[in-house]
Amino acid sequence: MHEDGEVDGLPVWPVIYYCIRCGDLEAAKITTSKAAQDLGEFSEYLEEYMQNDDRRLSPSTETKLRLHYRRAVRSSTDPFKRAVYCLLGRCDTVDNHSEVAEKTEDYLWLKLSQVQFGDSSTTSGQSSSDKLTLQQLQTTLLEEYGESHFNAHQNPYLYFKILFLSAQFESAIEFLSRSDGGLRSHAVHAAIVLHELGLLALPENIQAQLLSRNPQDPEPMRRLNFVRLISMYTSKFESTDPREVLQYFYLLRNLKDAGGKSYFVRCLSELVIETREFEALLGRRERDGTRRPGAVDKFQVETQDIIETVAVDTEAKGLFEDALKLYDLAGNSDKVLELMNQLLSPVVASANSPQSNRERLQGLAVSIAERYQAQGLIGSPANTKSFYLLLDLMTFFDHYHNRDLDRALATIRQLQLIALSPDSVDDRVNGFKQYTDEIRRNLPDVLLSTMNILYTKYRSCRSSGTQSPHARAGQRKEDGGKESYLAHLRKQAKALITFAGMLPYRMPGDTNARLVQMEVLMN
């Protein structure tokens, strides 16, 4: 039933309502002016409504309109007239105006137009049915109605729009991210925009669920775990396109964990370790020492600090070989040597074989040594000394396992690590105290191998009746004969036994027994 006449052959209140609904307030004003004689003071209300940028009436005018609504308009049979008055005066908010707002979009627009902010919500003379805060509307939409009321899973965009337009961004994004039909991408990119604008509420704890509630927050406020959302989304393509994943992780650069570390760096570290795309993401060190940039360099961040952070994480996971390459990339030569020593120490005494762990590590160590020497790079005195000594010991064991015993013996004598003469025992024992554990752990194998060389040469000399021409160098022999050479070998073996017995180091239980056994066989 339409009231107050017509305009251009159309009922006046539907025309006014639809003019306001489509945002053409000037058209609504023209319509009102044509029917002014039938509309009373409404034209004044609309004029003031249009003049205010926030589309609000002054408290006094709003009170006047509401009073008129309660006395005359509420009982009107024209649903459009009631809707227009409720819209301008933000009154009778419990009325959903279902005859006018037939669609969800119309209902939402009408309710949002009635929401009150600030002090205006406490206007004198207001009843509870005249109040609608944003928080109340949000609670109604999210908790009272919810997904089932709006048939959200059949029409996900509509429900997303309802939550989004009622400023429930976090709940809207979480809902869209778990909807069918590949909508997670839209959820993620909407979240990115909102996050960049500072409009997302985030949880304090990164371990929180994707959508969570802080007990101190007012209902129905929720918090969105933006870091988790990005991680969940990028996990689908991190193995195939890690460079693209890095673009998303960069969005987390301003979010920090309890230790102050950026989530960009944290996620980058996990990505590098998971995909092992070290060179593509972080760059590589060329033979001449220069660093070839990686994908991370495009972001113009503190690349060296980031690389070192990833190196620390990699080391913590026990990936020492990868970690030392990253430390090398970050320019931390001391950590490179420290980890290189830890890796070399267990394989020094092993026999080399093609494509073995030892061969790979030896090749890596040699390349580092050559580059560091060319560039004058060193670490701490202890790490530097141990590194080069381990390389020399690998050379010794290479000769030993290749049965090049003369070169092996010459190498170990040159290193001055163990005693091969009585007058050097004390010096070698004192020198042992300065060696790191990486060197000390190899000493039992060095002693056994050296003693085995002496015993092999002794047995060979006795059986053949000749002495090695290489053994003559540096020897004091009065007669140059066989017995003198054998005595010289026994003297070296005895010095070795004495040195082993004086070491302040607990060696494997059978080491000393095997040393003594070979020395006894030489007497």
Q: What pLDDT does 480 receive?
A: 53
Name the 3-class secondary structure at 116.
Answer: strand
Kindly indicate the confidence band of residue 498, based on its pLDDT and cuts at 50, 70 and 90.
very high
Q: For residues 29 and 47, what is the distance between their CA atoms, to the nearest angstrom?
A: 7
pLDDT tens, position by position, 38-47: 898 999 999 9
* Long-range CB contacts (within 8 A, 24+) of 12-20: 12/38, 12/39, 13/78, 13/80, 13/81, 13/84, 14/80, 16/80, 16/84, 17/80, 17/83, 17/84, 17/87, 17/100, 20/84, 20/87
Mean of all residue pLDDT scores within the chain: 91
- Written in H, E and C, the secondary structure of 21-42 is HCCCHHHHHHHHHHCHHHHCCH
pLDDT tens, position by position, 119-166: 544 444 455 557 899 999 999 999 999 999 999 999 999 999 999 999
Query: Mean pLDDT across the stretch 383-402?
Result: 97
Q: Is the pLDDT of residue 295 over 80?
A: yes
Residue 44, Cβ density class (10 Å: 0-12 exposed, 13-18 middle, ≥19 buried): middle
Query: Mean pLDDT across the stretch 294-315?
Result: 93
pLDDT tens, position by position, 77-118: 999 999 999 999 999 999 999 999 999 999 999 999 999 886
Q: What pLDDT does 463 receive?
A: 86
Name the pairing type of β-strands 211-212 and 10-11. unpaired
Query: Mean pLDDT across the stretch 306-335?
Result: 95
Q: For residues 426 and 422, what is the distance between their CA atoms, to the nearest angstrom?
A: 8
pLDDT tens, position by position, 61-77: 999 999 999 999 999 99
Q: What pLDDT does 36 receive?
A: 87
